[in-house]
Structure 1
């Protein structure tokens, strides 16, 4: 057995070590590609050493964290991997966040260094007083020059000892208000994702095209298996359908990850059927509800398998739908993956009877360590069976059909998924309540052709207030990130509530549909 296959066969290994093996066996083959740069395996391995050495030189130790706020690029990807070689956790942050939200996330992660690019410079400038060192990945004035920061060529970092629970990255799942929620994923969780990849044809001839951002777990569940198995990752910083199709054809792409709204835009492109996509082996999707009719269209017109992942950034169990193998199950999210224990529980935390609906909870080797510095919220996300086995609660309600496929009904929590991004109504409601005109408010998700779902606000004004709905809408947009903007804002005399005072959001959705 080759050293690479032997390394992949282990119950636990480090992705950064696999890069070293790939560099030793195929140093000239391309590993990372973007619009302006290509990095071979040998060059990537050497750059990771320089990055890891630089972090250690600056006093970072295993378990410390850095933050990255930038568009996807070869340099971003190499930085992420280099930090892992030093045992440093990465907090990848969304450039679309507000400055206040970004500052809270940097503080929560206890990031020692912030890496940025020019596009994020204005946001970064508004995020704090500059106490944390800032390094620009693109040579812009956003921070110190990245190339000048790097340790000399041929630098080799000190070895670090890491366990499966050692922090790999911290993914932030929300918010413009309140305390951010950082999901700490361990090296063991990422390794579980890598080992799962063997089933989907990853290997040294893989070419993966990624147009979702590197700060999203959606992207990383495909990025790291591609790297681990020695494939090439082509990075597209900003998605557009025509550009994606041109890259896919040019690079003879074999694998990709797309959220449903991207599939929708690609299939609707007037020239879709003129592109040669015959090289595709596997197409993945996650992060948002995937319409059965759209799945069927992808299967009909786009070569290669279609695989939908259902799960959470927090981990726990995963369901997988291999749509090309189960064309009659497109209304489901598939069956539990190998090693995943998926159960359904009622409001009292008891497992429901077979065939009944309940909240989805899951256990697997891929589970978050917890929410960073928030043990109470971690406990809220956990469920333990009578034997003490730990599960992660999804907040989703579903039912298993007679063949063991999971059918989702509704989200127990009112999270909105718009264009693959999570939007929390409570965050938007809290922002709106900060305006003097607002006496009461509820935000709901409604169907959107463009985004899958989009948020709509229903607002009760204080008596005598004459603020227009348009003025309040524009004020709100100035307070939130781009992905959280409201599609509409409607005034309403009174919010519908149940006898115990709970806002009946279903009625608001129905009202919006009329």
Structure 2
């Protein structure tokens, strides 16, 4: 591993070597590396002027923008950690995360400030779009050419605090150090990030999903194209206009893009690699992307908490599209049973993993941190994923379900993904989610929520009967509910908690 270099230092290096190279494209603003680096300096200097010291924290809650990017990098240059918060949060969760982070400065735009209302409280407040909420960014920023006090970054300082999606409760602050991020971007990526990279980001900047491409692009001296709000056709238009070579998308975005009737008219020949993570990625969708979208396709499986991650280079293993690939180099992934014993190949177990890339812990939650780590007989520390999976004879991992989503009916383990896979083979089904509900007779029983095609020739009653004829006796659905859409987080995870609440409210 090369010697540690902070991300902002790599940006400064590119600014010195290629000052006119494009760094960030935000709408009609195309900012080169010289101005980009100057803006980062100005943010760092302004934070220092506000009295922030290394290891302090700022919070950002806003849509993607040039201001967001330079504030993130400027904080890092000042040795200050960043807590990027989701604009989709409830005001209650937002206030809890803001307090938990200990942020001394809060950056927002007019949209997010209005949505959070009185929950948006911090010692200092800065408005990215000069909307009148807090201090205007343009006035707060130090004057052009201002240099901050030089800071020597300790690799063990906090780089960011990423709050979990909150699909299972109040979000937890996942602490990543500079060293962890360096291990991800320090060697860049064997899949091609470098000075010619043009990366289109349409997932939000508060998500670890996005940072998986954001960090290596800037570390390698490439350029970012920002998309504030995703839409399929707009994504393809940006890809064609800017000759995009890399992107990170979640499965629901891929599905919407590939479903466009005129997808094939767009020139996507500039693509070198596309990435996917965060949610189940259907094999048939991967196959369609490989067939019609130039460049490679890599799926990552792992936790924001770190641990063991897998990668599927789908273009190299078209016979393994139903898996999430093999453990990445330097990553150990095991499957264990309820007693912590490693299960044999071909059997199902909980996925645990370890690697040099592991979170420091959950901020202010030592108990939750201890619950997430698991130690083997030799004292090696693993991250428990809460996912259930199975390795095949070639070492490829197939995901079954979240452990908490497994349904125990009449003493039998039922994996919702098995039923979901059957449902999505029906030509009238767009997508499906299966959730366990309490049952006096069986303990739990499966209920399906299904999005049907607009011209579907089948209704919910008939589809339930069709499904129950395809699955095993213990897997039969108690009910099937047709819905217009499945509730999802901003990075595409189905919010099964909301589906449970939806049905319970209707009963």
The normalised TM-score by structure 2 is 0.81
**Aligned equivalent of 2:411:** none
Q: CA deviation at 1:176?
A: 8.7
| Structure 1 residue 64: Cα displacement | 1.1
- Alignment partner for residue 349 of structure 2, among 358, 367, 371? 358
Check the 8 A contact 1:344/1:360 in 2, yes or no.
Answer: yes
Q: Which one of 250, 259, 274 corresponds to residue 250 of structure 2? A: 259
- Supply the distance in 1 between the matched residues of 2:167 and 2:326 (Cα, whole angstroms): 35
SS at match of 1:111: coil
Match of 2:64 in 1: 72
What is the aligned counterpart of 1:404 among 392, 395, 412?
395
Deviations 1:360-404 (A, max 9, x none): 111112111100000100010001122211111100011110100
Q: Shift of residue 163 of structure 1?
A: 3.0
Structure 1 residue 383 and structure 2 residue 396: aligned? no
Separation in 1, partners of 2:277, 2:364: 27
Distance 2:264 2:302 in 1: 31
Q: CA deviation at 1:314?
A: 0.6
Aligned equivalent of 1:432: none
Contact 2:105 2:122 (8 Å CA) reproduced? no
Contact 2:106 2:122 in 1 (8 A): no
Q: Which moved more, 1:43-52 or 1:150-159?
A: 150-159
The Cα of 1:185 is off from its aligned counterpart by 0.9
**Which stretches in structure 2 are left out of the alignment for 5+ residues?**
407-415, 418-432, 439-443, 454-482
Report the Cα offset of residue 310 of structure 1: 0.2
- Using the TM superposition, give the Cα deviation of residue 449 of structure 1 relative to its aligned residue in structure 2, in angstroms: 6.9
Matching of residue 81 in structure 1 with residue 78 in structure 2 = no
Compute the displacement of 1:30 (Å): 0.6
| Deviation sequence 1:343-367 (CA, Å, 0-9, x none) | 1111122222333221111111211
Deviations along 1:265-299, one digit per CA (max 9) or x if unpaired, are: 00000110000000100000000000000000000
Question: Are 1:394 and 2:385 an aligned pair?
Answer: yes
| Separation in structure 2 between the aligned mates of residue 254 and residue 45 of structure 1, nearest angstrom | 23
Give distance in 2, aligned partners of 1:311 and 1:57. 39
Partner of 2:279: 288
**1:442 Cα deviation after fit:** 11
Q: 1:405 to 1:232 in 2, by over 3 A?
A: same
1:111 to 103, 117, 120: 103
Which range moved further: 47-56 or 352-361? 352-361
Distance 1:149 1:177, change over 3 A: farther
Alpha-carbon offset, residue 192 of structure 1: 1.9
Listed as ranges, the gaps of 5+ residues in structure 1 are 1-8, 418-422, 430-440, 451-472, 495-514
1:183 equivalenced with 2:196 (yes/no): no
TM-aligned CA distance change 1:31 to 1:391, over 3 Å: same
What is the TM-score with the length of structure 1 in the denominator? Answer: 0.80
Q: Are 1:173 and 2:164 an aligned pair?
A: yes
1:24 to 16, 23, 29: 16
Q: Is the 8 A contact 2:345 2:392 kept in 1?
A: no
Closer, same or farther: CA 368–140 of 1 in aligned 2, 3 Å:
same
Aligned length in residues: 439
CA deviation after TM superposition for structure 1 residue 145, in Å: 0.4
* Change over 3 Å in CA distance of 1:189–1:126 after alignment to 2: same
Residue 217 of structure 1 pairs with residue 208 of structure 2: yes
Distance 1:221 1:281 in 2: 16
What residue in structure 2 maps to residue 52 of structure 1? 44
Give, in angstroms, the shift of residue 491 of structure 1.
4.7
For the structure 1 residues 196 and 10, does the alpha-carbon distance in structure 2 shift closer, same or farther, using more than 3 Å as the test?
closer
Question: Which deviates further from its counterpart, 69-78 or 149-158?
Answer: 149-158
Change (3 A) 1:177 1:208: closer
Instruction: Give the aligned partner of residue 127 of structure 1.
Output: 119
Partners of 1:139 and 1:177 in 2: CA distance: 35
Structure 1 residue 62 displacement after superposition: 1.4
1:489 and 2:502 correspond: yes
Instruction: Tell me the CA shift for residue 178 of structure 1.
Output: 6.4
1:83-106 deviations in whole A, cap 9, x for unaligned? 111111111111111111101000
Q: What is the rounded CA distance, in whole Å, between the counterparts of 2:291 and 2:88 in structure 1? A: 35
When residues 65 and 492 of structure 1 are mapped into structure 2, their CA distance, relative to the original with a 3 A threshold, is: closer
Aligned residue for 1:43? 35
Contact 1:98 1:176 in 2 (8 A): no
Hey, what's the Cα distance between the residues in 2 that align with 1:404 and 1:177?
30
User: Residues 399 and 151 (structure 1 numbering): CA distance in 2 closer, same or farther, change over 3 Å?
Assistant: same
RMSD: 3.0
Q: Secondary structure of 2:190's match?
A: helix
Cα deviations across residues 106-125 of structure 1 (Å, max 9, x unaligned)?
00000101100011121232
**TM-aligned CA deviation for residue 447 of structure 1:** 5.3
